[in-house]
Amino acid sequence: MGDRAGWCHRVQAVTSTLYRNGVVHSPADPFAEALLVDDGVVTWVGAEDTAAGLAARADRVIDLDGALVAPGFVDAHVHLLETGLAAESVDLTAAGGVTSLAAALDALARGTRALDAADPGGQEVLLAFGWDEQAWPERRAPTADELDAACGGRLVYAARVDGHSAVVSGAFARAAGIDRTPGWEPSGMVTSDAHHAAADAVRRVSPARRTRAYRRALADAAARGIVGVHEMSEPNMDTRDGLRELVELTADPAGALPHVVAYRGELCATADDARQMLVELPFLTGIAGDLCADGSIGSRTAALRHPYSDLIARPGGSEPTGRLFLTGEDIAAHLAACSAAGTQGGFHVIGDRAMDEVVRGLELAATQFGPGALRSGHHRIEHALFVDAAALAALLLYGVALSVQPAFDAAWGGSHGMYAARLGAGRASTLSPFADLAGAGVPLAFGSDTPVTPFDPWQAVRATLTHEDAMQRISARAAFRAHTRGGWRLAGLDHTGAGELRVGAPAHLAVWRADTLSVQAPGDRLSAWNPEARAGQPLLPDLSAGEPEPVCLQTVRDGVVLHDTFG
């Protein structure tokens, strides 16, 4: 895969930091209490009594006071521009206090008044994000007429929580000229082409605002213990120039921002297409990510074998089984092109019919170009909520890795969640088979798909421990590894030692204050301080129900501090 991600930048000044009097999560020494970092590299891991003799040589000594030092998280699926803009938008999520349609309209009205003061001419679009009608007592989305009334005729774009549909005001629809575009509904709901056109219009932001959005999103990631992200750029979310800026902004660790692994989701028909893209964007790790085979379950655009259970029949509304955006032939050609160009290919895949089409594409590519050539691409799939036995066999046979979002299951899974409402409880119960995937040996990395769900890596780990189907739960250790080393592995960077705290590995780490540390497996809790029970396993924060969220005290990339509470 090469070294396109700017991995080789190093901090020039030789500095050293000693972390002591804590707990170090290191398979190399499960009982380590201290760690030394020299010039961005871990140079020693060991016991507190030895650390005392190293303190004099360190430029900085941090007394952990029992805190945990662990590998930093990697979020393997993010949209940084969207995340930064969402942070400046009207928050329509439950976390933002919006738990009904009426409350959403009130929040939009308040947002309008604030924007009127800053933009009295009324030209700027009021952005809102995160509504989920399934969680509201009214059980419906706002309408264009309601947005016009609440916002005084201002241009309004309000994105659904999954990012695959939105509601726009009548004023916005007329200004953007989308009211005759496929995917437009008179209610103001926009999906498919109409949604893409609406999203394009609102993302035409000034260069200064774009840069501010990137920086804010990356700073938020660092505050959550995230040292690296996989940016899933694609034409409907950001520009190629935006991706160039993002990579330049983060290439040098001295800039004190998380590492960015760059992906671009554009379909390639031939190897020349893929090679040309790599010439124009030489930093790409893959031509993959949100190259959508289908849409989302929440917006009823994920491609399903059987109709949605709660489909609302309306003119121009959702198709009964969602939408398939790519054919098996498209998928095969893209994978073959990427393999020939020596880069990763991959797709956004949600529904079971979309997964069927991806499997068909894999088989077509293998028949035409050989399974070895296909496996050499180390291709990846995003989301993959439906993985049945046939799909699992194909993933293993062709060496395909998965980037999954456990927080989706926590937010919308289970027998009473949004997935069950859309699909029926029976179909919903088969989603997110974490244990099947991990047990079969499919390479896994975890991400958030922010802003769809927020940066919250411990929540992702916890979600795999609390899956409603107990047979699909995995250990905290396996989940943590997928959210740390797994992210480097999918980007082809695990050979550096990233994702582990051992001598010679890059110092990508986070320090956590947690009330209780333990070794956990599904349904099992072992004492943190009993060496016999621990069996030599490194510790993690206790994520049992009722335990407080771990607090990030410091985040470090290549020895450079990105987030710090130590002073």
CA distances from 249 to 223, 246, 255, 258 (A): 18, 5, 7, 10
The pLDDT of residue 399 is above 70? yes
Cβ atoms of residues 165 and 269 within 8 Å: no
Query: For residue 120, what are the contacts with CB-CB under 8 A and spacing of at least 6?
Result: none
In a domain, 150, yes or no: yes
In a domain, 299, yes or no: yes
Tell how far CA 496 is from the center of its chain. Answer: 22
Percent of the chain residues past pLDDT 90, beyond the cut:
77
Selection from 258, 240, 210, 248 nearest residue 81 by Cα: 210
- Residues 187-206 have pLDDT tens digits of 999 988 888 888 888 878 88
User: Which has the higher per-residue pLDDT, 494 or 4?
Assistant: 494
In a domain, 536, yes or no: no
57 and 186 co-located in one domain: no
* Residue 536: pLDDT band with limits 50, 70, 90: low
In a domain, 78, yes or no: no
114-128: average pLDDT: 84
468 and 436 co-located in one domain: yes
Question: Which of 153, 171, 202 is the last residue before a domain boundary?
Answer: 202
Residue 179 confidence (pLDDT)? 83
Average pLDDT, the chain: 91
The CATH number assigned to the domain holding 59 equals 2.30.40.10
The pLDDT of residue 316 is above 70? no
Question: Which of 171, 202, 233 is the last residue before a domain boundary?
Answer: 202
531-557: average pLDDT: 83
195 and 237 co-located in one domain: no
- Helix, strand and coil content of the chain, in percent to the nearest 5, comes to 35, 20, 45
Containing domain of residue 255, as a range? 207-496
197 and 221 co-located in one domain: no
The pLDDT of residue 528 is above 50? no
Residue 318 confidence (pLDDT)? 60
326 and 473 co-located in one domain: yes
Range of 35-39, 153-157, 368-372 with top mean pLDDT: 35-39
234 and 289 co-located in one domain: yes
- CA atoms of 346 and 404, how far apart (whole Å): 13
Amino acid, single-letter form, for residue 132:
D
Window from 184-193, 270-279, 465-474, 517-526 with minimum mean pLDDT: 517-526
140 and 228 co-located in one domain: no
Residue 146 confidence (pLDDT)? 94
- CA atoms of 196 and 187, how far apart (whole Å): 17
Question: What are the beta bridge partners of residue 189?
Answer: 167
Residue 520 confidence (pLDDT)? 57
In a domain, 57, yes or no: yes
Residue 317 confidence (pLDDT)? 52
Strand arrangement, sheet containing 60-63: 41-46, 34-38, 16-20, 60-63
Residue 355 confidence (pLDDT)? 98
In a domain, 442, yes or no: yes
- Residues 237-273 have pLDDT tens digits of 899 999 999 999 999 999 999 999 999 999 999 999 9
Question: Which of 183, 202, 221 is the last residue before a domain boundary?
Answer: 202
216 and 325 co-located in one domain: yes
Residue 7 confidence (pLDDT)? 41
Residue 202 confidence (pLDDT)? 81
Residue 134 confidence (pLDDT)? 86
Residue 523 confidence (pLDDT)? 44
Using H for helix, E for strand and C for coil, what is the string for 32-70?
CCEEEEECCEEEEEECHHHHHHHHHHCCEEEECCCCEEE
Residue 439 confidence (pLDDT)? 96
Residue 279 confidence (pLDDT)? 98
- CA atoms of 6 and 261, how far apart (whole Å): 9
CA distances from 306 to 309, 360, 408, 426, 532 (A): 9, 18, 21, 12, 51
381 and 476 co-located in one domain: yes
Residue 535 confidence (pLDDT)? 55
The CATH number assigned to the domain holding 194 equals 3.10.310.70
103 and 226 co-located in one domain: no
The CATH number assigned to the domain holding 305 equals 3.20.20.140
Residue 180 confidence (pLDDT)? 82
198 and 230 co-located in one domain: no
CA distances from 423 to 259, 426, 539 (A): 38, 8, 38
In a domain, 9, yes or no: no
Window from 19-33, 124-138, 411-425, 547-561 with minimum mean pLDDT: 124-138
Residue 312 confidence (pLDDT)? 61
In a domain, 541, yes or no: no
Residue 50 confidence (pLDDT)? 94
How many domains does one find in the chain?
Answer: 3
211 and 342 co-located in one domain: yes
